[in-house]
Every structure is written in structure tokens, then in C-alpha cells.
């Protein structure tokens, strides 16, 4: 078998066994289990563990952030809601009155939703053309 136990996997990925269990609880990497319940890390898991380390150190993010990104990708409703909220962020053009501003934000929202791949090609065409 080419699957490693938790200590072996920890050693070659530069995590601690403790952290491998933690990462699993975070829902990020869930290795197979042996009949006796031992965690078995295959090549794919090892690769993902190394990449994960690279990711968090390079961008200074936390495992919770990666977990949140994962949730974002799986919960479409959440993604849409956050997307909608974030649309209203950019520097508001000073001269545009509030009412028009809101309308502008709303329009832009549709355009970006379309851009994001949410099935709305017609709207995208209409707005981006």
C-alpha cells in the first residue's frame, strides 16, 4: 500500500499530526480510513497538504479563510448574497445623487452576476454590448 499514516504524512508535509487532525476537522482534507480507523494519506492528500501550506503562508491567510472560501463555493445562496453586498463598495462618483447611485449599483450588479457565470447570458449581452 502506498498510503502513509498520520505521523509519516506529517513529517514529509511539514505539518504536525495534531494539525493534520485539525485540518480534517476544518473540512479541508479528509483522508481515507483503514479498517481500524487509521487515517491513510495518499499521494493526492500529500500534495494537497503541501499546497495548502504554501497557500496559507504565501497569502497570510488562515485555515478558517480557506474553509470559508470552500463554503462560498458550495453554498450558492451565500455566494450570491455576499457578492451582492460587495457590489456596492467602490468609490461612489461624487456627483451622482443617491437615487441614481442605487440604480447604478443595481445595474452593475446584474452585469457582474452575469460575468460571474450565473446563467444570464441575455442580460450580459444587453449590458456589456
Partner DNA sequence: CGAACCTTGACACGCCAGTGGTAAGGTTGG
Partner DNA sequence: CCAACCTTACCACTGGCGTGTCAAGGTTCG
Residues forming contacts to its own copies in the complex (CB under 8 A) are: 42-44, 47-48, 51-52, 55, 58-59, 61, 65-66, 68-70, 72-73, 75, 78, 81-82, 85-86, 88-89, 92, 98, 101-102, 115-117
Q: Smallest distance, Å, CB 36 to its own copies?
A: 20
Closest CB to its own copies among residues 78, 126: 78
32-68 b/e (C-beta count within 10 Å ≥ 16 → b): eeeeeeebbbeeebbebbeebeeeeeeeeeebeebee
Q: How far is the CB of 7 from DNA (least distance, A)?
A: 3
Reduce the DSSP state of residue 33 to 3 states and report it. strand
Amino acid at each position: 500500500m502506498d498510503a502513509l499514516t498520520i505521523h509519516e504524512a506529517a513529517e514529509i508535509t511539514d505539518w504536525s499530526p495534531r494539525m493534520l487532525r485539525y485540518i480534517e476537522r476544518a473540512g479541508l482534507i479528509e483522508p481515507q480510513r483503514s479498517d481500524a480507523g487509521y487515517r491513510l494519506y495518499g499521494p493526492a492528500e500529500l500534495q494537497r497538504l503541501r499546497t495548502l501550506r504554501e497557500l496559507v503562508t504565501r497569502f497570510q491567510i488562515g485555515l478558517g479563510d480557506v474553509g470559508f472560501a470552500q463554503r462560498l463555493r458550495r453554498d450558492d445562496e451565500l455566494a450570491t448574497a455576499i457578492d451582492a453586498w460587495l457590489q456596492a463598495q467602490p468609490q461612489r462618483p461624487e456627483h451622482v445623487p443617491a437615487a441614481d447611485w442605487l440604480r447604478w449599483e443595481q445595474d452593475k450588479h446584474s452585469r457582474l452576476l452575469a460575468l460571474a457565470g450565473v446563467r444570464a447570458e441575455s442580460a450580459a449581452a444587453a449590458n456589456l454590448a
